[in-house]
Amino acid sequence: MTRYALDKPVRIGFACNADTYARMMDDGAMAAFTALGTFEHHLCNEPSAWEVAPPENPAAVDALVAFAANVDALLVCHGSPRLTGAILDRLPNLKLIAEVEGDRFSQRIDVDAAAVRHITVVDTTNGSSYPVSEWALAMAMIGLRNAGALYRRMIAGETPFRTNDDRVADFSWNGELTGKSVGLIGCGYIGRRLLELLAPFHCDIYAFDPHVPRVLADIYDITLTSLDAVMGCDVVISLVPLTPETQGMITAKELDLLRPGAVFVNVSRGAVVDQSALIKRLERNDIVASLDVFDPEPLEADSPLRSMTNVFLTPHIAGVTAPCGPRFLTLAADEIERKFAGHRTRHDLIPRAAVKK
């Protein structure tokens, strides 16, 4: 059942490797596509190299063009050749391209070339943003109780507290989330979902994100502010993607602004933070860190973070849940439906030329 009326069935293709298809496709995703028109999968297995584009494989390109020659909407993901202007010139019927995972910065698609050819490009990688926001909330609450330290002590065979007085004395600086000040570093898909999850806790929320419109502050009743102001909150949560702008943005200077008793949560990327400076800040033992990401990854076996009692660690799993794979595809189906019903898409990739302006 579609939400909008379509003039005619949409021809949809999906180019990816076998593992990606098996992880993402389920009955619900298939039903979402077939409700819009026809759907076919093209098996391909080209390498993905985000720093330097791999050499073009002419045979793989020809196979993709043959598959997509009559397609209206083309989904691409791991395994697909990079869609260049030369390839798009061979696909005159194409009206929409959807990257469904891992390409917020358009490494798999020449977005500028697509814009020149009036092809809409969307990215539904945000399908994994929603569980990240849930884990960010959980990590904040774990940090406020320093539950990682209690877990370490219990599995070591200790009885952390023998009396209620011991419990109160040993736990006095930890607390509840309700009524706390929460600072968000980044307020994109993850941040906006986290704002919804934080609503019942009546927190005073500050956000640093120079790229969001100011109307967001009115919609969510939050304060848009500086990074320094965010670092002074009771709970500070890093949510930004890793870009040249954000790499290493949280230095010793920013970490020194964390107040005693604060909780620092990172569910974004490890390289956003100067990890050696974070370790030094944690050595004062007056803050707690809940970390899902590190620099480098995996975390070194001898890293001090592994043994610190004021650190809670998980191995970069915030966005890894079973529903994520199919959600990437159903979000793409939603975008296809909007496009071919004559409405604006929601998750567009912006041409670099437009960003520079």
Asked if the domains at 10-123+322-356 and 129-313 fall in one CATH topology, the answer is yes
DSSP H/E element including 97: strand 96-99
Q: Do 110 and 84 touch, CB atoms closer than 8 A?
A: yes
Which CATH code is given to the segment(s) 129-313? 3.40.50.720
Q: Give pLDDT tens digits for 164-200.
A: 666 555 555 568 999 999 999 999 999 999 999 999 9
What value does the mean pLDDT of the chain take? 92
The pLDDT assigned to 48 comes to: 75
For residue 298, is the peptide bond before it cis, meaning its omega torsion is within 30 degrees of 0?
Answer: yes
Going 192 to 105 to 90 to 327, the CA torsion angle's sign is: negative
The pLDDT assigned to 175 comes to: 85
Q: Tokens representing 239?
A: 């949510």
Percent of the chain at pLDDT exceeding 70: 92
DSSP H/E element including 144: helix 129-144
On the question of pLDDT at 15 being above 80, the answer is yes
Contacts of 133 (CB under 8 A, 6+ apart): 190, 191, 193, 194, 197
The ranges assigned to domains in the chain are 10-123+322-356, 129-313
Going 205 to 210 to 212 to 215, the CA torsion angle's sign is: positive
The pLDDT assigned to 165 comes to: 64
Mean pLDDT of 130-145: 97
b/e burial code for range 315-343 (CB count within 10 A of at least 16 → b): ebebbeeeebbbbbbbbbbbbbbbbbeee
The pLDDT assigned to 354 comes to: 43
Mean pLDDT of 78-105: 91
The pLDDT assigned to 215 comes to: 97
The pLDDT assigned to 356 comes to: 40
What is the distance in angstroms between the CA of the first residue and the CA of the last residue of the chain?
40
User: How far apart, in whole angstroms, are the C-alpha atoms of residue 74 and residue 224?
Assistant: 38
The pLDDT assigned to 357 comes to: 36
Q: Give pLDDT tens digits for 194-232.
A: 999 999 999 999 999 999 999 999 999 999 999 999 999
One-letter amino acid for residue 349 of the chain:
L
User: How far apart, in whole angstroms, are the C-alpha atoms of residue 136 and residue 238?
Assistant: 9
Mean pLDDT of 28-44: 98
The pLDDT assigned to 355 comes to: 40
Which CATH code is given to the segment(s) 10-123+322-356? 3.40.50.720
